[in-house]
Amino acid sequence: MSLSTAGALARPGTTASTTATSTTATSTTAPPGGGSARRRVRARLPAPRRWISPLVLVVAWQAASAAGVLPPDRLAAPLTVLRSAVDLAASGELTDAFAVSISRVAVGFTLGAAVGVLLGAVAGLSRWGEALVDPPVQMLRTLPFLGLIPLFILWFGIGEAPKIALVALGVAFPLYLNVHAGIRGADGRLLEAAEVLGFTRWERLRHVVAPAAVPQGLVGLRQGLAAAWLSLIIGEQVNADAGLGFLINNARDFLRTDVIVVGLLVYAALGLLTDAVVRLVERRVLRWRTTTRG
Amino acid sequence: MADHDTRVSAYAARLSGVRKTFGGRQVLAGIDLTIARGEFVALLGRSGSGKSTLLRLLAGLDTPDEHPSDSARANDSARANDSAPTSASAPTTTAEPTGAGVEGGQPDGSGTVASDAADERERSTAGVEDAGDAADRQPVATTTARPPVDVPGRVSVAFQDPRLLPWRRVGHNVRLGLRRPDADEVAERTLAEVGLAGHRDAWPLTLSGGEAQRVSLARALVREPDLLLLDEPFGALDALTRLAMHRLVLELWRRHEPAVLLVTHDVDEALTLADRVLVLADGRIAAEHPVPLARPRRRADLAELRARVLDHLGVSAHAVA
Ligand SMILES: Nc1ncnc2c1ncn2[C@@H]1O[C@H](COP(=O)(O)OP(=O)(O)OP(=O)(O)O)[C@@H](O)[C@H]1O
Ligand SMILES: [Mg+2]
């Protein structure tokens, strides 16, 4: 959620793709009705009239800054933001911060996804597994995981570990829930058909259960990624000596709103990028479904 | 099906005193039925009479109630074995007198039925877990005498809904039940037989209802089953496609020579296709009608038989027709 809000601050192009994201997001559960692949590609570039209001807003923002209505210590002008983005990129500061943040997400996501998928599979595939795994996970899920930061700091100190743990935790739950539900949702009639065809346990898993769980699993992947970025942003606010959060916090101390906005934009872009990657994977993996007749 | 051990047995399937109870309600109350190898049998019966239940038992997807006294029936079975017909398409008379097993008042009636049914229910909703042992369970059913459900050969099922794996292309779906090096070739040939050669790379969800049914039929046939179970496979088709499918099934039946059990609501369909028409009512085979006519059959020749079958179907007759 906060990612989309951050995206709304961005250049018109970014705003436009945010809209595209939210519309395509609904298509994870329901196949897009009728539209051929080509039509969908074209539809991703929004109609010209959708560009008008974002452009007006940015122009108004620039005008307000130029007129002194928006002082730079509250919000820097768009052009200033652009300039400092170029500067930060040129000096390597942005790239370094970027690399640190990305690696935190990568490690945390990998850990969290592994745990989430594994537990989801265990709970989905075996009654005993479900009985043992599901209750504690459901209980933990009710805790607001971002509220665990104080505990994490006590447990893991203030280095990389609490940030990674927070990301992992944010990722694990949605993946667990969706993988579990996806496996349980496998069509019993297809399983019967597989049984009659003499499938082994492994073949049943490979040809029926796993593919049946994929759509829901991808929903979990998306939710997990959104949670990963959110956790990172929160985690990096707390205590960081490197990364995008550090860049932003540092900028705050010097009232550099331009750098703060640049940091936010990078967060937004990263969120959009990973979402786009998942969508690409989805389109490829769920090809069988996108061709559904109307 | 030449290389199969069913050579030795004269029948493709044999049910002896099969009973099935769901939650205290007896759906099958003692079914005795032998289907000869290569025989085409149609099963009629009103909705809820237990046709699908019977078919699921034959497919090994479900287990019959525990048999009260298998040993008491041992003599019976020996006799029936001798008299079982050996020629493929000769109509068999095996709606045996059900006296011994069913009406003879067995003291230990129902046994562990309820738990069994509950178990089945759970299994069907429980992902992959345990789904494997149903197939193993069947042969173990009895050790002493004739098993209540005896299907010696390979079974294929075409369900009422096509049940194709939507994430596998049509060709792959057909190939899935095959374990042989030339699976691809065989699958393609069978697809051609059902008139869908061009659809090998299509996704199942893009097929029309009739096409999907035919793919399902191809998937069942490609395994060269000894027993082909068809559960109202043409139910959802329009009249014209239905006729085309009838021709197709007969053609495939002649070529591959499986025994067929066709469950249907349609009396004309049953009479046009089958060697023998059975009527299931009150949990038993209530009537049996051999159809000693050469194919293709004309409607006019079937009129008298049709009247008799409808009569056996009783009050539901006009509704079924
Ligand atoms: N797993 C089950 N649990 C409980 N009851 C069942 C179960 N399977 C079947 N039944 C019941 O057994 C009866 C026979 O069902 P079955 O599906 O065999 O009927 P059918 O003859 O195939 O009917 P139709 O022509 O409508 O398909 C029905 O009353 C049904 O409710
Ligand atoms: Mg039925």
Q: How much of chain B, in percent, has pLDDT values that exceed 90?
A: 40
Choice between A183 and B102, residue whose per-residue pLDDT is larger: A183
- What number is the average pLDDT over the span A103-125? 97
Which H/E stretch holds residue A2? helix A2-8
Length of chain B, in residues: 321
- What number is the average pLDDT over the span A9-36? 39
User: Above 90 in pLDDT, residue A19?
Assistant: no
How far apart, in whole angstroms, are the C-alpha atoms of residue A200 and residue B132?
7
Helix ranges, chain B (H): 51-59, 74-83, 113-125, 133-140, 170-175, 183-193, 209-221, 239-256, 267-273, 303-313, 317-320
- What number is the average pLDDT over the span B159-182? 91
> ipTM of the assembly?
0.74
Q: CA distances (Å), A217 to each of A113, A166, B129, B160, in order? A: 11, 21, 19, 30
Q: Which atom of ligand 1 is nearest to the CA of B20?
A: 12
CA B260 to ligand 1 center in whole angstroms: 21
The residue whose C-alpha atom lies closest to atom 25 belonging to ligand 1 is B47
Choice between B226 and A21, residue whose per-residue pLDDT is larger: B226
Name the residue of B18, B52, B266, B269 to mutate for ligand 1: max ligand atoms within 8 A of Cβ: B52
pLDDT level of residue B233 (50, 70, 90 thresholds): confident
pLDDT level of residue B122 (50, 70, 90 thresholds): very low
Round the average pLDDT of chain A to a whole number and report it: 85
Structure tokens at B223: 């395994």
DSSP B19-52: EEEETTEEEEEEEEEEEETT-EEEEE--TTSSHH
- What number is the average pLDDT over the span A189-203? 93
The whole-number pLDDT of residue A206 equals: 94
Choice between B79 and B173, residue whose per-residue pLDDT is larger: B173
Structure confidence by residue, pLDDT tens digits, A239-258: 778 999 999 999 999 999 99
- What number is the average pLDDT over the span B99-113? 33
Residues of chain B neighbouring A204 (CB-CB closer than 8 A):
128, 131-132
- What number is the average pLDDT over the span B260-273? 92
The whole-number pLDDT of residue A42 equals: 53
Does the pTM of the predicted model rise above 0.95? no
Q: What is the largest CA-CA distance in chain A?
A: 76
Q: Which residue has the tokens 């699958």?
A: B187
- What number is the average pLDDT over the span B172-178? 90
Q: Which residue has the tokens 């919000």?
A: A75
The whole-number pLDDT of residue A34 equals: 43
> Which residues' Cβ are closer than 6 Å to ligand 1?
B 22-23, 27, 45, 47-53, 117, 120-121
Nearest residue to B262 via CA among B55, B62, B95, B56? B55
The whole-number pLDDT of residue A40 equals: 52
The residue whose C-alpha atom lies closest to atom 3 belonging to ligand 1 is B22
The whole-number pLDDT of residue B7 equals: 52
Q: How much of chain B, in percent, has pLDDT values that exceed 70?
A: 70
- What number is the average pLDDT over the span A104-126? 96
Structure tokens at B212: 């999907």
* Nearest bound ligand to the CA of residue B264: 1
CB contact (8 A) between residue A195 and residue B165: no
DSSP A138-155: HHHHTS-GGGGHHHHHHH
Taking domain B11-74+116-288, whether its CATH number is 3.40.50.300 is answered by yes
Identify the weakest region by mean pLDDT among A80-84, A85-89, A287-291, B179-183.
A287-291
Domain boundaries, chain A: 76-285
Structure confidence by residue, pLDDT tens digits, A154-180: 999 888 999 999 999 999 999 999 999
Contacts for B263 with CB less than 8 Å, ≥ 6 apart: B42, B43, B51, B52, B55, B229, B230, B231, B232
The fold adopted by the segment(s) A76-285 is: MetI-like fold (1.10.3720)
A115-134 burial code (b ≥16 CB/10 A, e <16): bbbebbbbbbbbeebbeebb
- What number is the average pLDDT over the span B194-205? 91
CB contact (8 A) between residue B168 and residue A124: no
The whole-number pLDDT of residue B199 equals: 94
Instruction: With beta carbons less than 8 A apart as the criterion, state whether B262 and B234 touch.
Output: no
The whole-number pLDDT of residue A1 equals: 35
User: Above 70 in pLDDT, residue A132?
Assistant: yes
